[in-house]
């Protein structure tokens, strides 16, 4: 009877210690796994499509915030996507701004910059595209990071667990 009492006391004293030791490790591991990672591929010229992408990103980031989930959302811009990262009309290039883009540029720029400043969205531009049209880095918004190759960057991010999304 005394041995059963001692065993119960030991269990009551040791069990909380086991929980204290193991639970934080499990929670930390789960927290790492819970990082939501998404890369959007922007290689198109259509301002309406870009607007739809911005809406999708805003909704995604807001949902993650409401769910208290950590997230890392990036947009990798390649080819025609370069049009959305500068106020330069890109005259003399295959990516020249048309009247449709010029009509919507202020709205799109404001929404994009808001996503960067309020949601932490990261913008990455293919430096191959930039150098092919001979534009200096200073022409692009300050929040834009140059990456050597946009498609290589997307592949790297996918290997790191990023989901790939492209708005059609």
Span between the terminal Cα atoms of the chain, in Å: 73
Determine which of 23-27, 117-121, 138-142 has the lowest per-residue pLDDT on average. Answer: 23-27
130 shares its domain with 155: yes
50 shares its domain with 14: no
DSSP of 105-123, one letter per residue? HHHHHHHHHHHHHHH--EE
Q: Is the pLDDT of residue 44 over 90?
A: yes
Q: Provide the pLDDT for residue 27.
A: 38
pLDDT in tens, 71-92: 999 999 999 999 999 999 999 9
Cα–Cα distance between 93 and 95 in angstroms, integer? 5
Q: Which helix (H) or strand (E) holds 26?
A: helix 2-33
**Domain range enclosing 4:** 1-33
Bin 68: left if φ > 0, else alpha if -120 < ψ < 50, else beta. Answer: left
15 shares its domain with 83: no
How confident is the model over 30-35, as a mean pLDDT?
64
101 shares its domain with 44: yes
Predicted model pTM: 0.81
Q: Give me the number of domains the chain comprises.
A: 2
3 vs 131, which has greater pLDDT?
Answer: 131
Q: Are 86 and 109 in contact (CB under 8 A)?
A: no
Confidence of residue 24 (pLDDT cuts 50, 70, 90): very low
Kindly state the percentage of the chain with pLDDT values over 90. Answer: 79
Pure H helices in 34-90: 47-66
Structure token digits, residue 86: 């500068």
Cα–Cα distance between 100 and 83 in angstroms, integer? 12
3-state secondary structure of 71: strand
Confidence of residue 34 (pLDDT cuts 50, 70, 90): confident
56 shares its domain with 12: no
- Count the residues in the chain: 168
50 shares its domain with 12: no
Sign of the CA dihedral with 102 first, then 111, 87, and 134 last: negative
Q: Are 61 and 70 in contact (CB under 8 A)?
A: no
């Amino acid at each position: 009877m005394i041995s059963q009492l001692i065993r119960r006391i030991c269990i009551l004293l040791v069990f909380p210690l086991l929980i204290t030791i193991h639970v934080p490790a499990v929670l930390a591991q789960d927290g790492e796994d819970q990082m939501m990672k998404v890369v959007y591929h922007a290689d198109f010229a259509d301002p309406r499509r870009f607007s739809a992408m911005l809406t999708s990103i805003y909704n995604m980031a807001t949902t993650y915030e409401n769910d208290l989930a950590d997230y890392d959302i990036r947009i990798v811009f390649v080819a025609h996507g370069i049009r959305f990262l500068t106020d330069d009309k890109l005259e003399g290039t295959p990516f020249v701004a048309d009247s449709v883009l010029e009509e919507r540029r202020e709205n799109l720029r404001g929404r994009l910059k808001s996503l960067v400043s309020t949601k932490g969205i990261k913008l990455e531009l293919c430096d191959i595209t930039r150098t092919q049209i001979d534009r200096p880095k200073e022409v692009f918004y300050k929040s834009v990071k140059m990456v050597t190759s946009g498609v290589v960057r997307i592949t790297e991010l996918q290997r790191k667990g990023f989901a790939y999304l492209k708005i059609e």
